[in-house]
């Protein structure tokens, strides 16, 4: 089966994002999917890319993994300018009664919670409005559902509604005085010199990320016995749930998106061992990182080293369109990008 996976560059400085186009051959015809749309500028690039390289104006599936600006806002351009088959997006504002009933919380009304959720999802809520105006089918990406040949591994509906949503920034706490977990410090930290080797790994086991990022849609498929895994900004909790739901993702994995632009808070040695396998493998997998060309934070070298230890060639976008493909697919003027190298001493 021929397929193409294109990671388009998103963002400037330390503001990275995701904009992914892919198509695969199915029953002698091509299916096209877009996973996240980056910024508005990225959305324009997606439209041009689909027309030029996929030779079509139709996208079968558009997936918004989670509501961050650097993933959602560009999709409005895509929805407005191309023919769309299905939009896959979380819409928690449609579950306000279920959420309130579950927590038996009488302090907030359904309408009030709905308004607060719609405000918190200010970059993804407009996608629903555009889709409704254009009569695009809207579906919600929960664990176990299929988007074309891709299976959704996370989040489950129950985890999303009753654990993650209450922990989203700007949404009500599950309990008064509860300490929400996982938000990265806004303060710049002094960079320290780190020393590693193939046997010495400094990536922490207890890194945490926000509920917003943990809600990212994780997608998996296998083409010609080669596994393909998209992770969005998912953290270790979501990755562990995805692995528990489908342990076979660790077998024959050929391609993986490095979560959250290579942040060290999203992966740890334990989950990487489960998904990628033990350290010391020969190169047998490709890992792509969406990272701004001038980013000083993405990807972290400790994360790069961790993926390399487990048999991955790691390639960042860094202002380029990165193509991963199978079959007789060539593009004039395109060349090979050298993967990142393992470093024994670095600053983080």
> For the segment 325-345, what is each residue's pLDDT rounded down to a tens digit?
987 788 888 888 899 999 999
Q: Is the predicted pLDDT of residue 150 greater than 50, yes or no?
A: yes
287 domain-assigned: yes
pLDDT in tens, 172-208: 444 433 333 333 443 345 678 999 999 999 998 888 8
183 domain-assigned: no
Which residue range(s) make up the domain with 108? 3-172+189-329+341-347
179 domain-assigned: no
Closest CA to 155 of 234, 48, 44, 46: 234
Identify the band that residue 241 occupies on the pLDDT scale cut at 50, 70 and 90: very high
- Mean pLDDT value across residues 311-325: 94
335 domain-assigned: no
Neighbours of 189 (CB within 10 A): 7
What's the helix, strand, coil split of the chain in %, to 5? Answer: 30, 25, 45
86 domain-assigned: yes
Give me the pLDDT at residue 130, please. 98
Give me the pLDDT at residue 176, please. 38
Q: Can you give the CATH number for the domain in which 131 is found?
A: 3.60.15.10
Q: Is the predicted pLDDT of residue 140 greater than 70, yes or no?
A: yes
Q: How far apart are CA 328 and CA 219, in angstroms?
A: 25
306 domain-assigned: yes
H helices present in 96-208, as ranges: 96-103, 110-120, 125-133, 157-159
Decide: helix, strand or coil at residue 72.
helix
- Mean pLDDT value across residues 223-237: 96
Stated pTM of the model: 0.93
232 domain-assigned: yes
Q: How many domains does the chain have?
A: 1
- Mean pLDDT value across residues 256-266: 96
CB 46 within 8 A of CB 34: yes
Helix (H) or strand (E) holding 47: helix 40-53
- Mean pLDDT value across residues 198-219: 92
Q: How far apart are CA 1 and CA 27, in angstroms?
A: 10
Decide: helix, strand or coil at residue 154.
strand
Give me the pLDDT at residue 190, please. 62
pLDDT in tens, 58-101: 999 999 999 999 999 999 999 999 999 999 999 999 999 999 99
140 domain-assigned: yes
Give me the pLDDT at residue 148, please. 97
């Amino acid at each position: 089966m021929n397929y193409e996976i294109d990671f388009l560059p998103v963002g400037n400085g330390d503001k990275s994002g995701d904009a992914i186009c892919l198509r695969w051959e199915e029953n002698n015809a091509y299916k096209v999917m877009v996973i996240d749309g980056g910024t508005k500028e990225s959305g324009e690039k997606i439209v041009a890319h689909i027309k030029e390289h996929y030779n079509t104006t139709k996208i079968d599936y558009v997936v918004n993994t989670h509501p961050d600006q650097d993933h959602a806002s560009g999709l409005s351009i895509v929805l407005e300018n191309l023919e769309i088959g299905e939009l896959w997006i979380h819409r928690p504002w449609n579950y306000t009664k279920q959420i309130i009933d579950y927590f038996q919380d009488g302090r907030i009304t359904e309408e009030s919670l709905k308004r607060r959720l719609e405000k918190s999802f200010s970059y993804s809520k407009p996608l629903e409005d555009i889709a409704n105006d254009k009569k695009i089918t809207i579906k919600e990406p929960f664990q176990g559902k299929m988007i074309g040949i891709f299976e959704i591994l996370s989040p489950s509906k129950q985890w999303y509604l009753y654990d993650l949503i209450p922990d989203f920034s700007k949404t009500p706490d599950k309990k008064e005085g509860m300490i929400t977990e996982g938000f990265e410090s806004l303060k710049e930290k002094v960079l320290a010199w780190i020393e590693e080797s193939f046997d010495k790994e400094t990536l922490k086991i207890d890194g945490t990320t926000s509920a917003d990022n943990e809600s990212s849609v994780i997608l998996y498929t296998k083409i010609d016995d080669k596994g393909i895994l998209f992770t969005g900004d998912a953290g270790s909790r979501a990755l562990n749930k995805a692995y528990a739901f489908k342990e076979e993702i660790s077998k024959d994995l050929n391609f993986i998106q490095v979560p959250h632009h290579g942040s060290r808070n999203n992966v740890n040695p334990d989950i990487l061992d489960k998904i990628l396998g033990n350290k010391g493998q020969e190169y047998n997998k490709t890992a792509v990182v969406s990272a701004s060309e001038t980013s000083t934070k993405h990807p972290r070298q400790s994360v790069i080293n961790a993926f390399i230890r487990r048999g991955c060639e790691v390639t960042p976008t860094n202002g380029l369109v990165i193509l991963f493909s199978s079959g007789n697919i060539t593009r004039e003027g395109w060349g090979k990008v050298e993967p990142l190298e393992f470093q024994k001493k670095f600053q983080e």
